Each structure stands twice: as C-alpha cells, then as structure tokens.
Amino acid sequence: MPYKFTFDLSKVPHFFFSEIAMVSYQRGMHKSLIKKLQELIVRFRIQEATGLNLSDALVLLEDLIDLQAVNAIERGKFLQTRKRALFLPHCSRKYLDSRCKAVFNPDIPSYTCAHCSADCLVNQSVQLATKKAYDIYIVPGGSCIPKIMRNTNYEGAVGVACGEEIKMFGPLLSKLDVAGQAIPLIKNGCANTIFNIETLAKVL
C-alpha cells in the first residue's frame, strides 16, 4: 500500500538524512523518539517543505528511522551474500509514457531499461547494479516481488520504494531467509519519484 499522503524531501538539506541515521543508531538512547522526531521536524522545517501535517510527517520520519535500523541489523548478513537482486520502482523512470523505451515482460514481471535517457534515475541505478552483477527488476508494483522471489533463490535483495511498500516485504524476506537492504523514496506520488542515487551506490 502506498502512503495516503504525498511528500517531497528532495530539497531538504542532506544533513537531515545524516540526523535520521544518527537518531536511528541511537534510538534506544532517546527517552521519547516522538519528541526527538518532532524536534527534527521543526528544525528542518519538514512541514513547510512537504506540506505534511504533523502526524503524517511523524509517520514518514518513523518509517525512515525504522528502515535505517533494519538496514543496519541486516547489513552484516547482506555483505556475506553472493546472489543478489535489485528491485527498482517503475515510478522513478524519467518518463512513464511512451517516451520510456523500456520493454515490459509480463512473465517475470519486470521492465528492461533501454537506456534512452542518461539522467533517468532507473537507468543510472541499472548501470550501477549491472557492474556489481545484480539481477535487476524494474517492477510496476510491490505485488510483483513475491512472485519473483519465489521463483528464484536470491541470498540478498535491495529494494527501492516508498516506506510503506518496503515494510510489507520484511516478513517475506525473513521467511525466505534473504538479507534485505532498503532505499526509501525521498519523493513519492507514484510518478516522477526520487530516491538518493548516492545512497543506493553505497548500499550496493
């Protein structure tokens, strides 16, 4: 399920994400995580930047913190894996209409990028992951992932999606004993979405 709200954190200073990582690392040390997140929301003017109300902003930040924490827990196991997959969201393609030359194969189901645009986030991610020998899937929705995972035997998986989509796959990865790493979108909305390509490069 996507979020019931849209957000765009792509213009928020990069330092904000370092703070999120720090809070995630120290989460047991904060008496009230909510209070700490409220401080961050005020300090980085998250509501002004995104138009979110306080409750939705808290949901978003809590998800970012949780995903960071799970990434840290899974990191050691992930680094031991050899056979890995990268799942990219179709919504981060530069174009969602016929200008995108990716070919969709419903049997997988996945798009294959045709590299039509150098500044397309999906294209850049495909190039990064190809160099590292990942199998790459550009999926039209999270519901495609269980089918792909059940027909393969990956040891590790990296997923890019909005936080709520990613959280749905934690139980599936645990059940299949697959080490996961997550890259949350910093702009959602199901079209022209954005994630941090530098973060993806580091995770891969």
- Closest CB 63 distance from ligand SF4, rounded Å: 12
**194 near ligand SF4, judged by CB under 6 A:** no
Where do the H-state alpha helices sit in 118-187? 121-131, 144-150, 163-168, 170-176
Binding to ligand SF4 by residue 180, rule CB under 6 A? no
Q: Are 47 and 12 in contact (CB under 8 A)?
A: no
Residue 146 burial (10 A CB sphere; 0-12, 13-18, 19+): middle
181 lies in the binding site for ligand SF4 (CB under 6 A):
no
Q: Return the sign of the alpha-carbon dihedral for residues 189, 140, 147, 83.
A: negative
Q: What is the C-alpha to C-alpha distance for residues 63 and 100, in angstroms, rounded to an integer? A: 31
Least Å distance between CB 82 and ligand SF4? Answer: 27
Smaller CB distance to ligand SF4: residue 33 or 139? 139
Question: Applying CB under 6 A, does 117 fall inside the site for ligand SF4?
Answer: yes
Question: Cα–Cα distances in Å, from 39 out to 35, 36, 169?
Answer: 6, 5, 30
Residue among 9, 49, 86, 161 that touches ligand SF4 (CB under 6 A): 161
- Shortest gap between Cβ of 38 and ligand SF4 (angstroms)? 25
By CB under 6 A, name the binding residues for ligand SF4: 2, 89, 91, 93-95, 100-102, 113-117, 120, 122-123, 161-162, 165, 185, 188, 190, 193
